[in-house]
Structure 1
Amino acid sequence: MTKPAVLSRLATALCRGLLVLWVGALWAVGYLAAPVLFASLPRLVAGEVAGKLFFIVGWIGMVAGILLLVYVRYTQAAGRERRLRLLLLSVLWLLAAAQLFWLQPVIAGIKAQLPPLPPDVASLGPEFAFWHALSSALYLLQSLAGLILVMLGGVESRRPAVA
């Protein structure tokens, strides 16, 4: 096997791994870890831990998204298949950016303005509930876009790029 072929296979394998890490983290944190945290810990403590996990997932998305967008853009032939993958990756990345740089800071700001609360508090108020619901809806969209991308075969094309 030639050196360029080995590098191409390595890049493909790394990008597969990045996509699995990103989409797997979205699903594992959002739909496994967070519910377990809220079922096992006082509400405020669970929220703090979940927030830290979502922050990490957001940064995984920022890094993986850019690398995967570049990979698809420069390794796949132009066409409908590439456009669909680029669209899904762009949606994933933009939603991750919205979570990380817009929604998480807004939610943290609301929580910082609240007086000290007991750990078993039932609600953080209507403003928090609105932003949390919006964040949850966008997270679901991001998770579904990732699932669709994985179901379509990830970031690999059936056709090689034209040189």
Structure 2
Amino acid sequence: MLLAALWAGSVWAVSYLAAPSAFTVLDSTQAGNVVGVMLTRSAWLAIALAVVLGLIVARARDVDARRRHWLFGLIGAMLACSLVVYLGLQPMMAAIREAAGAAGVRASPQWGTFAALHGVSQVLYLAESILGAILVVKAR
């Protein structure tokens, strides 16, 4: 299904191509701002695609109950990963970044907390990436 590929592809593109590239060519403050915008847009795309895919799966006449359950589970798990990062982790990380000021997060006493939150977000994006690959395969 094309929409499943779009969702999975957007996660892969932002998480593994765009974000690391931004931190390679920009200073960390600029890169953080750019990546923050990309992740916000990615979260909104995830919400929209989860709704549309859920409706398509719910209306599909050729999908048996077991497969439908699997697809709903994959869609829900992917959306949960995205929302936990977008609504939970990103705001906490942004607050730490803002509190750090011009000195930057690495100089902040909250660096350890920021690094832990960042690590959790990376694990969630990895999970969303894997779930996306499974959804692409199962949605066919």
Give the TM-score band, short-chain normalised. 0.7 to 0.9
Unaligned runs of 5+ in 1: 1-15, 157-163
Deviation at 1:123, TM superposition (A): 6.0
From 21, 37, 42, give the equivalent of 2:27. Answer: 42
Indicate conservation of the 8 Å contact 1:43/1:122, yes or no: no
Indicate conservation of the 8 Å contact 2:4/2:135, yes or no: no
Structure 2 length normalisation: TM-score? Answer: 0.88
Q: Distance in 1 between matches of 2:33 and 2:74?
A: 30
Q: CA RMSD in A?
A: 1.8
User: Which aligned segments of 4 or more residues in structure 1 are displaced greater than 4 angstroms?
Assistant: 121-124
- Superposition pairs for residues 133-152 of structure 1, below 5 Å? 133-152=119-138
Aligned residues: 137
Partner of 1:75: 60
Structure 1 length normalisation: TM-score? Answer: 0.76
Unaligned runs of 5+ in 2: none
**Identity rate of aligned residues, in percent?**
31
Q: Which has the higher helix share?
A: 2
Is 1:94 aligned to residue 51 of structure 2?
A: no
Indicate conservation of the 8 Å contact 1:37/1:50, yes or no: yes
